[in-house]
Amino acid sequence: MTNHEISAVFEQIADLLEFQGANPFRVRAYRNAARTIHDLPESVAEIVADPEQSLEQYEGIGKDLAEKIGTLVETGSLPFLEELLAEAPESVLAILRVPGLGPKKAAALYRELNVATLDQLRDACREHKVRDLKGFGEKTEEAILKGIDVADEANRRILWIEADGFVQDILAHMKRCPKVEIISAAGSYRRGKETVGDLDFLVVAADADAAMDHLASHEKVDSIIARGKTKMSLRLRSGLQVDLRAVAGESFGAAMQYFTGSKDHNVALRGRAKARGLKINEYGVFRGEKSIAGRTEEEVYAALGLPCFPPELREARREFEWADDGRLPELVELSDMRGDLHMHSVWTDGTATIEEMAVAAKRRGLKYVAVTDHSKRVSMVGGLDAKKLRRQWAQIDLLNRRLRGIIVLKGVEVDILERGGLDLPDDVLAEADWVVASVHYGQQQPGERITRRVIEAMENPHVSAIGHPTGRMLLQRKPYEIDLEAVMKAARDNGKFMELNAHPVRLDLDDVGCAMAKGYGVRVVISTDAHSPEGLGMMRCGVQQARRGGLTANDVANTRTWAQMKRLLGRS
Ligand code: DGT
Ligand code: CA
Ligand code: CA
Ligand code: ZN
């Protein structure tokens, strides 16, 4: 069990207790524990397993909580949570996930209006019953209505990175079955889509039944939804659905092609086959009754005169047009990345020192990193003022004299203020190597205003890039109402970079935004926004999103050396 999973359990307990109207101190104790665990660099599971160590050494974790964590880690479940869940109406959990609602308000809705499902909540908002409740009002009602869409999706889909955890786990499990010859993940997961609805696996096995039995025996399985001779669907305890199909080796490529999708890509492909007098399905490509391809994806596509599209491009956008013109882009790869230009350290809300971050980045093969701690407006995390920032930069100068094989750049993530303008004066920004300007406050402003703020930031000569340009948080928060085209034009005209924030919750720019940037000739930087050394590992999520946007290594700025980057910045 990962720290993240354990932390989520304690958050859920806190939510449920709060929903029940429990003692606020008790609620806070669980929330604090959740946060402590979430931010812990060491693995809680390992601490539990180690008789020499105790969880009670950590802030906010007493005897009772330490015991609960132990139970959770050792058995994979927690009776206390099960009890709470049994007491709460199941659909209320969905309501708890509506952004801007929270357990207290959810409890009031349940008590006063008998609202226990998302549909009932939507109706109550539309009938304007919610605004009259004490502590709600018209604005809240509108916000809830918007939040329901987000929650709806959050109940149906999970983040790609979370899916990746399950996929790796299931692949490893299936490889332990001696009857399994090939096991592979397909579907939206393989296409690298930012959120995933369910998991699709294909298996080639000497004995399909044995393979299905083996999957059913996985410890995370809750129940079998359906099972036939060659296919099975089951539900994991997390609620995630898993589809497994057994196919013959000679059809494996055709099945991979078919079940990787997307549906629209497949529809287009069928059209192509027809035009050539061929038929394509999950078993192969056929001329009349005769199969002419099927064992590998390459030969399936080749039989239709097409290149084997990288899965990330299979969305029926422009991939067929590119293939026809012979200009299918050679997509950027993780190994192309040379630098990371957005990260935080202990100077603000990061968990590691600058040196630790730099050393970890070097280990990942990077040549340069920019430390971009928050500016003072982000007071919650102790954002830096001019004085502290200059002190940090002086330390970076010293550090660079000692470090070998990696350059640490003096950066900052400067806030774009609510009223417009930047959170630090120009003379300070002028001393930085790299300046990311981001919106964190005033996200609810009308589109015109936010767009103006961002464009003005790009007109500042010291700003290098715009951080997480749309502010969306997957399954949590919609983007600000920003006019991205206007922003792209300004980026082009002012020679600024646009960030693709690689954090798996953000992935902002998204794939379409990346393609838009490329269309405008705007360079994209893929940055992790890491708050810990592990966070640097999210670069792969950013690269995957860039690939979905059709970007090549050349389209991504930080595939270059820092010397080349400086020239792009007009600073050499
Ligand atoms: P998801 O699960 O919502 O994130 O998205 P997918 O793309 O994984 O969709 P899923 O799991 O329903 O189906 C997996 C793939 O199987 C899909 O990408 C394409 C293929 N497929 C499924 N149903 C159909 C269909 O009715 N027609 C075609 N052409 N392909 C289909
Ligand atoms: Ca799927
Ligand atoms: Ca599926
Ligand atoms: Zn930020």
The residue whose CA has the least distance to atom 18 of ligand 1 is 261
Quick check: CB of 259 below 6 Å from ligand 1?
A: yes
* Closest-approaching ligand to the CA atom of 167: 2
Dump the DSSP string for 330-353. Answer: -B--GGG--EE--B--TTTT-SS-
Distance of alpha carbon 320 from alpha carbon 305, whole angstroms: 11
Quick check: CB of 266 below 6 Å from ligand 1?
A: yes
pLDDT above 90 coverage of the chain, percent: 80
251-324 to CATH, choices 1.10.287.1060, 3.30.210.10, 3.40.390.10, 2.40.110.10: 3.30.210.10
Quick check: CB of 550 below 6 Å from ligand 1?
A: no
- In this predicted structure, what is the pLDDT of residue 572? 58
Quick check: CB of 171 below 6 Å from ligand 1?
A: no
* Closest-approaching ligand to the CA atom of 262: 1
Q: Residues 159-246: name the CATH superfamily.
A: Beta Polymerase, domain 2 (3.30.460.10)
Quick check: CB of 196 below 6 Å from ligand 1?
A: yes
How do strand 465-466 and strand 290-293 relate by DSSP bridges? unpaired
Phi, psi of 331 (to 5 degrees): -70, 150
CA of 189 from ligand 1 middle (Å) equals 11
Helix H segments across 369-438? 386-402, 426-429
Distance of alpha carbon 177 from alpha carbon 391, whole angstroms: 57
CA of 96 from ligand 1 middle (Å) equals 30
Residues 6+ apart with CB under 8 A from 167: 185, 189, 199
- In this predicted structure, what is the pLDDT of residue 76? 85
- Dihedral angle of Cα 232, 237, 240, 246, to the nearest 10 degrees: -20
- In this predicted structure, what is the pLDDT of residue 464? 98
374-385 burial: b if 16+ Cβ within 10 Å, else e: bbbbbeeeebbe
For 481-490, what is the mean pLDDT? 97
- In this predicted structure, what is the pLDDT of residue 364? 98
pLDDT digits (tens, 9 = 90+) for 232-254: 999 999 899 999 999 999 999 99
> Does position 98 have pLDDT exceeding 90, yes or no?
no
pLDDT above 70 coverage of the chain, percent: 100
pLDDT digits (tens, 9 = 90+) for 46-79: 999 998 888 888 888 889 999 999 999 998 889 9
pLDDT digits (tens, 9 = 90+) for 498-555: 999 999 999 999 999 999 999 999 999 999 999 999 999 999 999 999 999 999 999 9
The ranges assigned to domains in the chain are: 3-155, 159-246, 251-324, 334-568
* Closest-approaching ligand to the CA atom of 243: 3
CA of 184 from ligand 3 middle (Å) equals 14
The residue whose CA has the least distance to atom 17 of ligand 1 is 261
> Tokens 């104790």 — which residue?
29
Pocket test for ligand 1, best of 160, 263, 274 (most atoms within 8 A of CB): 263
Distance of alpha carbon 20 from alpha carbon 465, whole angstroms: 45
The residue whose CA has the least distance to atom 23 of ligand 1 is 263
Task: For domain 334-568, give the fold.
Answer: TIM Barrel (3.20.20)
> Does position 434 have pLDDT exceeding 80, yes or no?
yes
> Does position 30 have pLDDT exceeding 80, yes or no?
yes
> Does position 571 have pLDDT exceeding 80, yes or no?
no
CA of 335 from ligand 3 middle (Å) equals 31
Q: How confident is the model at residue 468 (pLDDT cuts 50, 70, 90)?
A: very high
> Does position 424 have pLDDT exceeding 70, yes or no?
yes
> Does position 104 have pLDDT exceeding 90, yes or no?
no
The beta strand positions in 496-554, using DSSP E, are: 497-501, 524-527
CA of 205 from ligand 2 middle (Å) equals 21
* Closest-approaching ligand to the CA atom of 530: 4
Q: What is the model's pTM?
A: 0.86
Quick check: CB of 233 below 6 Å from ligand 1?
A: no
Quick check: CB of 297 below 6 Å from ligand 1?
A: no
Q: Kindly tell me the burial class for residue 40, based on how many C-beta atoms sit within 10 Å of its own C-beta (0-12, 13-18, 19 or more).
A: middle
Q: How confident is the model at residue 116 (pLDDT cuts 50, 70, 90)?
A: confident
CA of 388 from ligand 1 middle (Å) equals 52
> Would you call the peptide bond into 507 cis, given omega within 30 degrees of 0 as the criterion?
no
515 in Cβ contact with 547 (< 8 Å):
no
In angstroms, the Cα distances linking 66 to 7, 48, 76, 271, 509 are: 13, 9, 15, 60, 40
The pLDDT mean for the chain works out to 94
> Does position 154 have pLDDT exceeding 90, yes or no?
no
CATH no., domain 3-155: 1.10.150.110
The residue whose CA has the least distance to atom 24 of ligand 1 is 263
pLDDT digits (tens, 9 = 90+) for 311-369: 999 999 999 999 999 999 999 999 999 999 999 999 999 999 999 999 999 999 999 99
Quick check: CB of 282 below 6 Å from ligand 1?
A: no
Q: Which two tokens stand for residue 173?
A: 């499990």
CA of 103 from ligand 4 middle (Å) equals 27
CA of 413 from ligand 4 middle (Å) equals 7
Quick check: CB of 187 below 6 Å from ligand 1?
A: yes
The residue whose CA has the least distance to atom 16 of ligand 1 is 259
Rounded CA Rg of the chain: 26
In this structure, which amino acid lies at residue 254? A
Q: How confident is the model at residue 439 (pLDDT cuts 50, 70, 90)?
A: very high
Quick check: CB of 194 below 6 Å from ligand 1?
A: no
Closest atom, ligand 1, to C-alpha of 195:
4
Pocket test for ligand 1, best of 200, 236, 269, 270 (most atoms within 8 A of CB): 200
pLDDT digits (tens, 9 = 90+) for 198-229: 999 999 999 999 999 999 999 999 999 999 99
Closest atom, ligand 1, to C-alpha of 262:
18
CA of 500 from ligand 4 middle (Å) equals 12
Q: How confident is the model at residue 39 (pLDDT cuts 50, 70, 90)?
A: confident
- The half-sphere exposure of 240 on its side-chain side, counting CA atoms within 13 A, is 22
